[in-house]
Amino acid sequence: MKAFFSVVIPLYNKQNHIKNTIDSVLKQGFIDFEIIIINDGSTDQSLDVINSISDSRLHIYTIKNQGVSFARNYGVNKATTNHIAFLDADDTWEHNHLESLYNLYQAYPSCGLYCTAYQKRMHDVIIPSTYFGIPNSKAWSGVITDFFEASTINCIAWTSAVSIPKHIFLSVKGFDNRIKTGPGEDIDLWIRLALKHPVAFTNTVTATHNLLAENRLSNSNKDLKSYIDLDQYEPFIAQHTSLKKYLDLNRFALALMFKVNSDELAFKNCVEKMDLTNINWKQKVLLKCNRSTLLLAKSLQLFLKSSHLHFSAFK
């Protein structure tokens, strides 16, 4: 009998985390799924770990390393169902995650993107996510009237907490393989989906994003073609007025990354395209900081998070 969900997991050098990730899928209350793992050229013991797991629903494919976008697209093409749920190899689900996505689809079958609320974990510290204009009730679910406005603090969609009908994923050509580094490949897909399709959301937290205390501000890849091209979505602002602010907030994140990587030209290009009225005072201050100050601020933020004090430039 054909499964309902295909769970696509891209895997690259996550030997210390992948078993917990897979276990969180195997413990789902909703059991009608297949798991498709794309081993994206791992050089550690990740493949040995997943080969030690015995479950008929688990399907493993090994390819040469071509990046997370390519791996996810490859996994979707191997999927036998029309409902794709994504999960990163170091993240986990609550036992009701697939059931929540299934219920969302049953309630709102005409949507192109289905999302559950998520939280972040850094060691033993849980960091909640906040969504602009969404009711705080854990039982709330519905169709988001303005995806871009709702995503100005934390994004409504996060890769390990979404489901997309396969035919819709293919119709927008999936993840952009040209985007090799983040932030970008996921945001790019959410924009394309939200421009064309309604988005359903439940405020029930069913997924955990494990930060692993890593500094995500810095990225050594300086090839600008590897990043999301936000400019291509400017023509759609006339029909979606909140899109401009959403683009500028993502430009802000990119600008900080460019400054940390000492790419002043890319930084200036990014800032010049921003409407500075779309960012808050904290973000304006950070844009004026030098590289050393930004790195110090990020280290301080991580330290405060470990002490259960959550500060964000986005709220």
Q: 52: which residues sit within 8 A by CB, 6+ positions away?
A: none
Task: Give the Cα separation of 202 and 108 in Å (integer).
Answer: 11
- Confidence at residue 136, expressed as pLDDT on a 0 to 100 scale: 77
Reply yes or no on whether the pLDDT at 304 is more than 70: no
Closest listed residue to residue 190, CA positions, set 141, 234, 247: 247
Record the pTM: 0.91
Higher pLDDT, 222 or 157: 157
Closest listed residue to residue 270, CA positions, set 186, 193, 184: 184
Convert the pLDDT of each residue in 14-69 to its tens digit.
Answer: 999 999 999 999 999 999 999 999 999 999 999 999 999 999 999 999 999 999 99
pLDDT category at 180 given cuts 50, 70, 90 is low
Reply yes or no on whether the pLDDT at 89 is more than 80: yes
- Confidence at residue 200, expressed as pLDDT on a 0 to 100 scale: 98
Q: At what angle do helices 243-260 and 281-288 cross, to 10 degrees?
A: 30
Least confident range from 8-12, 86-90, 289-293: namely 289-293
Task: Give the Cα separation of 133 and 146 in Å (integer).
Answer: 10
- Confidence at residue 274, expressed as pLDDT on a 0 to 100 scale: 95
- Confidence at residue 215, expressed as pLDDT on a 0 to 100 scale: 39
pLDDT category at 273 given cuts 50, 70, 90 is very high
Sign of CA dihedral 307, 309, 312, 313: negative
Task: Give the Cα separation of 186 and 98 in Å (integer).
Answer: 20
Mode of pairing for the β-strands spanning 199-210 and 141-144: antiparallel
The pLDDT of 124-149, averaged and rounded, is 89
* Residue 117 backbone phi and psi in degrees, to 5: -65, 155
CB 200 within 8 A of CB 102: no
- How many percent of the chain have pLDDT more than 90? 77
Amino acid at 108: Y
